[in-house]
Structure 1
Amino acid sequence: MIERATARRLAGDWRGACAAAAVDVDFDLAAIREVHGAETAARVEDELRHLVPDLLRWHLPRRPADGLLRPGLLLPLALFPDVHALVARTPDRFDLPPQRITLRFERLDSATAGRRDASLLHLRDRWDSRCTGELLARCGGVTRLPFFTTTGRPATGDGPEAAVERAVLLDEDGRHADAWAAAGFDLEVLLFEPGWSRDRIDPAAFRDEGGRDRARRNVVERSLAWLRPLHAALAGAAGRIAAHLDDVRAAAPVPKEPEHRLMFTPSGREAGQVVPEPRPDALPLHVDEHAGLVRIDVRGRCVVLDRLDTGRPRARLVAGVPYHRVDDERRRAEVAEFGLELDRVPRLPHVLARRPAELTALFRGAMRPDQLHPLVHAALFPAGTAPAPVPPPGLRDRVRVQCNHATHEVLLRDGTVHMPHPPAEIQRERMIEALGGQVQGCVAAHDGWRNPAVRMPGPMRGLRREFLTLVLHGNAAAVAAALDGGLDPRVRDERGRTLLHLLPWLTGVDLLPRLLAAGLDVHARDLNGETPLHPAVDYGSPELVRALLGAGADPHATSQRPYARAPIWTGRQDLAFLRDLIQRR
């Protein structure tokens, strides 16, 4: 996918790059030009020309269990006037729709605030080809990535990265206050609580192991333990917030006249109704980004940063207000200390304050440099060799199963499941099945591969799960490689779906002719009574729908549950040719 999308992007074909990375563009630039003006349309097109869709997909949040995209997320990429944004949406569900990303141009209103993730507004290096080099600075690197050479070999040394390495090691050791001091910060405690005064904390602080100092130290360490910041990058992050607030103010909502909709009463009299404008999301327009302060919210407290452009920055740990009950005394104390109330201090998002995930994964050995996206690798290791394309993951072609108190090896070759039994033994199992019994062992492995009603042995279910995971992730090349290796293409998942049903999940390789040649039935029904044309109409491309119709798929075939429907009953505008078939019946 990365290779295909990169080739189209470098050729100037942003639409082709999006198609290669399974990203659907769900808006029309001409419509944006007509409604929002030529300048806005030109800006949207410019963002799309620099979009790296495969890099966007690489960075999106995923479910830890299976690596599928977290469903239902709205991720704004860039802001535009009147609270509009270029938004990336993940599938609404993780199990049914393909792992495709949708790009939309829409207004950000309060109704979607709970599902919105604004991290990509701050981290353009995760999707914008003009900004990928910013990741090195966010990781605290100036001449190299901390803990590594420019070629990607583990190393530590002197230079500006040495201070970053010391602070990271202290954080990893649980000495969080010392990490702030090692990074050059004056760390102070300002709790606004009776009995607590303000103290500077450095490596020599709290030398007295008495009860009072030990309790204070524990409070500070617990408050700082969760954050794990990249101290050297906090000044740059504060600058990003100031620039982001400028974008937010430029995208402020435009007042509009209420819309009147013509309606009628039950007696037929005309009645007007005022349609309220969708309420835009609240924007942080009350903050003061010119005060030289930023805040990072931690559990129950916040860290206020200032003097970031000096050689001795300061971090003040401030107690939170229980249940947000701010009284006049607290307000006066905040103004006396900071010059303004804390509510007006811009917040630094955790995605900018915390250590980048790439640095943590590389430092802890959870990821190798050659496993990075090529653009990420080029940003972090400019002198290193670019990662080689990853070959499709290979699947096993043999599975060991328990069969009649023995362990047998079932082979998956030549498009079928081979059982190590003579015909007489297989015939005996078939007789037991005909008399109402259940097949087991090798016969269950053979039959369950094609029939979800038969329970296969555990190892065989594991192989099917591995194969179908490739399908759900849209890895058509790996699926084709497995079929080349002799895997039986007549597999069905637990819902009874065949590979023909799952074709909308697979892009980049045309598997339909191959599956039809292998004998898969275009009229096969899953446990809901749906044929392959049903999911193709729901999630597939018009080309796939046309190909299935050309192969003989019935557009009038109705499903059984959860409700009866036919593929021809669709409202998709790009499938008008399918609806036209009603008149020909």
Structure 2
Amino acid sequence: MTTLSRAGARNWGRIRRWATPPSMIRAATAARLAGDWRAACAAANVDVAPGDYTPFEDDLAHFAPDLLRWHLPRKPGRGDTHLDARQVVHLAGGGDGDGTVKGPALYVGGTRLGFGSQRLRLFVTDEPLDPGAWDDWEWDDGPRPFHALHDYRTRRSLWDARESGALLAGCGWTHLPFFDPAGNPLPERAWGLTERILSLHDAGQGREAWQAAGVDVSDPPLPASRWDARILQQHWQGFLADHAAVVAAARDRGSERVGIPFGWTNLVELTGFEGEQLTGTWVRVSYKDRDADWHLDPAPFQRPVDAELIRAGVLPVSSLHPLVHAAFFPEAGPLAPRVLPAPVAEARLRCRDGAWHHVRMSGGRFDIPHDDEERRREQALSALGGQVHGCIAAERAWREPGSTLPRALRELRRDLMLRAQHGDLPGVLELLDAGVDPHARDPHGRTLLHHISGLMAAPDDLTLFRRLVAAGLDVEARDRRGMTPLQTAVYDTGTAQLVLALLEAGADAGTVDDNGVSLFDTLDRFSRPELEFLQPPGE
């Protein structure tokens, strides 16, 4: 057992499988080692904005954009694998990470749509962004540039290849708990304090874990509100930081009291710093005081999620990012190249006449034992309100999110659409070349054309786009929010070349989504000067 729930561990396993494709890691690593940071960014689907990057040449020479993507914040709920939207990461410059604000700064901007294209954007500013500039933001003020600003200047192990080996030091560890440096499991007799604390915490003995870390504290009080009680228990039982590292950081402050937050309105107040064992007292605080100066944010001491996944048996060691693997197991030697296994592209199901048929894909369409006349008859039956069964139903369900598919085909569709969402162009081409039907939709109703901006090897690379249009994909297909591929390209990261290609293929620039938002409303909200050729009718 680990701190991660069973569902959470499963979701993170899905993220580690698809969200940073092996082909992306290999290409970005090769470019970085060759000294071409721009090519490394391109390989990792990181667009480089215009600007003067001269002050950051040394940082960029060792920038591992694929490693940053691996570590960026995500909230893996409902099976989602995407990055948190509207996040900005401060990599370097703009001061020394000590509160000083001065000079140019280097940032990576996150996605605009959570489940949209996962392309990132590297940019520089003359002066650092103000993380508090949007505290009083209102909807009428226009689009908010970012929801959260993360300072990674002192967390270089998350993006700088030179510092990646210090990943464990960030949470106070000298080795990966329960393993030796070569990756062999430690026998219980060789466990140290970290392993003892974690084993107590995993067993649900939170109070005993804190005592082992040097804090005498009771179990959480029971709030009157059932909701508050649930949230408090989640934070207490799911405490993700290293207990001993948090206690050491609290002692280093030299204060008479330090607060460790557990959720928004509960914290443990640590006192008694003159003794060997601290005293922890539960305190209720108001929401507005949650960031008081005497509170200690445990986030910098959070245990790497990969350590939890390995301990839970969800993530094979061979599936780690190579730089993470080297940090965890410095004596294990390099990893063999990881390759995503090809999913099964066929299923066996019972058809209308009761016979069992094999459903396969070949040449970009379903290969089923029914001729075109039978297909048309079933389609006519469906149009009249009749129920379609068997092979024809599976073919139809492939193109309709939420419809029931045989498990093998459902997993194949998920594999195709997650490769597309996360910019795995070689992986998508591999499946299409193997004959997989490209007309699939993801749970959000998005087609491969909705994901095309993340599947372009260069701003003007329209090879896959033309292939999909030639295969019959509809440029006017709408996702569950009523957005077409053209609207998605304009809202998200679509290049001018892609937008022009969509228009030439027949996309309608005058459509609106289910919220009544038009393409031109989006252009009014977001600065896209490269799309100035798009003009509302009559202008």
TM-score (norm 1): 0.65
* Partner SS, residue 133 of structure 1: helix
- Report the counterpart of residue 226 of structure 2 in structure 1: none
Larger displacement relative to structure 2 (356-365 or 532-541): 532-541
Map 1:49-198 onto structure 2 (within 5 A).
49-62=61-74, 63-64=76-77, 65-78=79-92, 79-80=94-95, 81-82=100-101, 86-95=106-115, 97-104=116-123, 105=125, 106-111=129-134, 115-116=147-148, 118=150, 120=152, 122-138=154-170, 140-142=172-174, 144-156=175-187, 162-183=192-213, 185=214, 187-188=215-216
- Report the counterpart of residue 245 of structure 2 in structure 1: 233
2:267 aligned with 1:304: no
- 8 Å Cα contact 1:140-1:164 kept in structure 2: no
2:477 aligned with 1:526: yes
Question: For residues 229 and 559 of structure 1, do their structure 2 counterparts lie closer, same or farther at Cα, with a shift above 3 Å needed?
Answer: closer
User: CA offsets per residue over residues 340-377 of structure 1, 9 Å max, x none?
Assistant: xx9654x4321234444333333332323222211111
- Select 1:318's aligned residue among 266, 273, 281: 281
Displacement of 1:491 in angstroms is 4.1
Map 1:278-293 onto structure 2 (within 5 A).
289=253, 291=255
Question: For residues 190 and 420 of structure 1, do their structure 2 counterparts lie closer, same or farther at Cα, with a shift above 3 Å needed?
Answer: closer
Question: For residues 423 and 75 of structure 1, do their structure 2 counterparts lie closer, same or farther at Cα, with a shift above 3 Å needed?
Answer: closer
* Partner SS, residue 167 of structure 2: helix
Displacement of 1:50 in angstroms is 3.6
Displacement of 1:536 in angstroms is 4.3
RMSD: 4.6
Question: For residues 516 and 130 of structure 1, do their structure 2 counterparts lie closer, same or farther at Cα, with a shift above 3 Å needed?
Answer: closer
User: CA offsets per residue over residues 46-77 of structure 1, 9 Å max, x none?
Assistant: 44444321111101222332211122333444
How many aligned residue pairs are there?
469
Structure 1 unaligned runs (5+)? 31-40, 192-220, 243-288, 327-341
Map 1:199-218 onto structure 2 (within 5 A).
none
Cα separation, 2, equivalents of 1:368 and 1:125: 22
- Select 2:328's aligned residue among 380, 390, 398: 380
Map 1:457-536 onto structure 2 (within 5 A).
457=405, 459=407, 463-491=412-440, 498-508=447-457, 512-513=462-463, 516=466, 519-520=470-471, 524-527=475-478, 535-536=488-489
* Partner SS, residue 186 of structure 2: coil
* Partner SS, residue 318 of structure 1: strand
Displacement of 1:552 in angstroms is 4.7
- 8 Å Cα contact 1:145-1:380 kept in structure 2: yes
Question: For residues 428 and 535 of structure 1, do their structure 2 counterparts lie closer, same or farther at Cα, with a shift above 3 Å needed?
Answer: closer
- 8 Å Cα contact 1:171-1:228 kept in structure 2: no
Cα separation, 2, equivalents of 1:76 and 1:226: 27
- 8 Å Cα contact 1:140-1:146 kept in structure 2: no
Quick one: higher RCO (CA 8 Å, sep 6+), 1 or 2? Answer: 2
Question: For residues 387 and 223 of structure 1, do their structure 2 counterparts lie closer, same or farther at Cα, with a shift above 3 Å needed?
Answer: closer
2:442 aligned with 1:442: no
Cα separation, 1, equivalents of 2:259 and 2:240: 15
Question: For residues 67 and 222 of structure 1, do their structure 2 counterparts lie closer, same or farther at Cα, with a shift above 3 Å needed?
Answer: closer
- 8 Å Cα contact 1:500-1:522 kept in structure 2: yes
* Partner SS, residue 168 of structure 2: helix
Structure 2 unaligned runs (5+)? 1-23, 137-145, 220-232
- Select 1:412's aligned residue among 361, 377, 383: 361
TM-score (norm 2): 0.70
AA paired with 1:153? N
- Report the counterpart of residue 214 of structure 1 in structure 2: none
- Report the counterpart of residue 365 of structure 1 in structure 2: 313
2:28 aligned with 1:5: yes
User: CA offsets per residue over residues 169-212 of structure 1, 9 Å max, x none?
Assistant: 233334444444545x3x35699xxxxxxxxxxxxxxxxxxxxx
Displacement of 1:441 in angstroms is 2.6
- Report the counterpart of residue 548 of structure 1 in structure 2: 501
AA paired with 1:487? V
Displacement of 1:139 in angstroms is 5.3
Displacement of 1:470 in angstroms is 2.1
- 8 Å Cα contact 2:207-2:218 kept in structure 1: no
- Select 1:399's aligned residue among 327, 341, 347: 347
Displacement of 1:23 in angstroms is 2.0
Give the % identical residues. Answer: 32
